Each structure stands twice: as C-alpha cells, then as structure tokens.
Amino acid sequence: MAKGIIYILLWALAGMMPVYGATKTYIGIKNQNNFYNQQGIHVDITDERLFDHHLVANVVYTTNRLFKKEGALTKDHYIVGMAWEFRPTKVLNPYIHLELGQSIYKIENSQFNFLDNKETLITFFIGTHLSVYKRINIYGNIGYSFKQTATIDPLFLSVGFRYRLTPIDNI
C-alpha cells in the first residue's frame, strides 16, 4: 500500500517537471542517523509560481539495508515532505521541513516481535543548503520525530547533497 502511494506521488511530482524554466527539479542522496544509520534518495521540486521557489515539495526513500548491523531491524521509510526555503537564490539557504510518511520494518529477530511492522512518521527538520556550484547543493539538518514506536532516539541528523536536473540560465 505505501509503495503504491509513493508511486502515485512520484507521478504527480513528475507532472510538475519543468514548464518553461519555472520549475526547479533536484535529485539527491542523504545519510540520516539517529540510532539507525539510513541512506536514501530524494527528489525535490519547486516552482517560481508558488511563492517564488520558497516552497519545496519532495519525495524521499530511506533504508538501513546498506549498512545494517546484525540483529537490527530492517527499516524502509517512504516519505513525502514540504520545505520552506528562506533564501532560495543565495549561497547559504536555511530551511524548515516537515515530513510525513510510513516506515515499514522487516522483523528478523524474535526480540522485536512486540512491534507492529508499520508506523506513521511525522518529522520536523531545520537545516541549511550550501550552494557549492551552480547545480550542486550540500546540506545538513537536525530533526525531531514526533511520532515513532521503534525509533529509539527521536532526534535525527542528516547530511547529503542534491543536484539540479533542470536547466540553469546563464551558466
């Protein structure tokens, strides 16, 4: 069910792809850490017709499958989010971000049988993007997960980068 919802949202976001240069589309990777170390990919889309690129929609998938510790839960997060970027055209661009999604666990160890294998995620982040080149941003943020059952530490730290796919004028 969650995968189906994410696919529908991806198609909806794809419908917002570049229209005469008004839309900016980014793809990126992130590393997120609380008790679990999770890697993920994300697509960010913004449009100048919606608050002059301040409002950003995104779709995110993160997992701990790549570097999972033995005995730990296997976690997959399917997330949609909205961010408000305060200075979208500047080198240093602070933002706030709200994510809503679903986490699905693969319970491999009997000590975790008390957990439901799905949960709703509600996470709030603050952070900043640093433009290191015309198409590349690196970012860092700190977040707090308001709703979780199997997350031991509700504080998240994330770092990553994103690459702008859409054309840039005057490169």
What does the pLDDT profile of the chain (171 residues) look like in tens digits? 555 555 555 555 555 444 445 688 899 999 988 777 889 999 998 887 778 888 999 999 999 888 777 767 788 889 999 999 998 888 999 999 999 988 887 777 677 677 777 888 888 999 999 999 888 999 999 988 887 654 566 888 899 999 998 776 644
- Residue 95: its pLDDT value, please? 94
Contact 72, 64 (CB under 8 A): yes
Residue 50 lies in a domain: yes
CATH of the domain at 12: 2.40.160.20
Three-class DSSP category at 51: helix
Residue 170 lies in a domain: no
Residue 73 lies in a domain: yes
Residue 94 lies in a domain: yes
- Taking residue 90's Cβ as centre, other Cβ atoms within 10 Å add up to 12
Residue 20 lies in a domain: yes
What residues make up the domain containing 133?
2-164
- Taking residue 124's Cβ as centre, other Cβ atoms within 10 Å add up to 16
Contact 63, 38 (CB under 8 A): yes
Contact 95, 129 (CB under 8 A): yes
- Residue 52: its pLDDT value, please? 83
- Distance, in Å, from the CA atom of 13 to the CA atom of 9, rounded to the nearest integer, reads 6
State the distance between the two ends of the chain, measured CA to CA, in whole angstroms.
Answer: 42
Residue 90 lies in a domain: yes
Residue 171 lies in a domain: no
Contact 168, 135 (CB under 8 A): yes
Give Cβ neighbours of residue 156 (< 8 Å, ≥ 6 apart). Answer: 32, 33, 34, 123, 125, 141, 142, 143, 144, 145
Residue 169 lies in a domain: no
Structure tokens belonging to residue 10: 């991806």
Query: What's the number of domains the chain is made of?
Result: 1
Which of 168, 144, 138, 146 minimizes the C-alpha distance to 156? 144
